[in-house]
Amino acid sequence: MDGTSPVEPSLGHWHALYATDIQGVYALWVVPVAFLLFIRLVPRQNPSMVAPGASGLMATYALVFGLETILDPLAGGLMVRWLGLADGWMATIVMFAFVLLGDFRVLLLVFYLLAVGSRASTGRPAEIELGSVVARAASWTLLVPVATGVLVGLGRTVAGPLHPQVLWLVYELSFLVLAGWFRHRLIPRTVVAAQAPIAAYLRDILGYVAIYYALWATADVLIMAGLDVGWALRILPNQLYYAFYLPVAYALFFSSWYVETSNVTHASR
């Protein structure tokens, strides 16, 4: 989602910085590399406090998507330029594929933990059919790009050529709507009170995701208004998306916060 492109003399100060590999690649690697080293070298001290028995899943999830996070700016930035494909359709396909992977990682975590909570609440065995969870997350991942394509297509039909950032803005706002619906509708309907830690954790994860999507959308509005500072603002959600999503999701997953909060809530009733 960083939209990195080669620097042009006409770019504003912040746009020029945004288009460099320092911002678009190397600065996005620091935290993920440190995070991968941490989870491989430092043993976990506590079992999962959110979903007991799902610690192995989170460890695999963090490793796989940690590597994907490092590969994303490499493939979408440096690699397409090394191969001479930066200005062609292949670069667009690569960028689009990684955008979908970035959303898929969130929805995969959501649907897996919803399945864990649903089975635990009914007393059924804790084994989860990972294939069905992956398929469900993948199908929901496609909803936002399809909706974006339809809305942008209608916009072009009605208004003619649109600002290049309109595509990203519509995508960002569409995912914000989806995250809000999951957070306020789907999770409360699916997770029973006995699985309150799972519900609270997923609401916080979706809230975190909503923050970086809202910042991206705000930045794009500024950019469309001709304000160079919009590119400076865009650097922040890039870091939240690439660098800090997995460390936040991992740390909260193994935190005792949700169990303690749930116990206090039940004790006060």
Indicate the range of 53-62, 134-143, 147-156, 199-208 predicted with least confidence.
53-62
Indicate the range of 29-33, 37-41, 244-248 predicted with least confidence.
37-41
Q: Across residues 182-189, what is the average pLDDT? A: 90
Whether residue 7 is contained in a domain is answered as no
% of the chain surpassing 90 pLDDT: 55
Is-above-0.85 flag for pTM?
A: yes
pLDDT at 269: 44
Distances (CA, A) of 3 to 96, 205, 259: 10, 24, 40
pLDDT at 8: 44
Give tens-digit pLDDT for 86-129. Answer: 566 566 677 788 889 999 999 999 999 998 877 655 555 556 78
Reported confidence tier of residue 1, pLDDT bands at 50, 70, 90: low
Reported confidence tier of residue 264, pLDDT bands at 50, 70, 90: very low
pLDDT at 5: 45
Indicate the range of 4-18, 43-57, 155-169 predicted with least confidence.
4-18
pLDDT at 151: 95
Whether residue 268 is contained in a domain is answered as no
Whether residue 8 is contained in a domain is answered as no
pLDDT at 129: 83
Whether residue 2 is contained in a domain is answered as no
| pLDDT at position 9 over 50 | no
Whether residue 1 is contained in a domain is answered as no
How many domains does the chain divide into?
1
pLDDT at 123: 53
Whether residue 6 is contained in a domain is answered as no
CATH code, domain carrying 124: 1.20.1070
Reported confidence tier of residue 260, pLDDT bands at 50, 70, 90: low
Q: Which domain holds residue 66?
A: 13-262
Whether residue 167 is contained in a domain is answered as yes
| pLDDT at position 173 over 90 | yes
Reported confidence tier of residue 45, pLDDT bands at 50, 70, 90: low
Q: Across residues 38-51, what is the average pLDDT? A: 79
Whether residue 239 is contained in a domain is answered as yes
Give tens-digit pLDDT for 238-259. Answer: 999 999 999 999 999 988 878 6
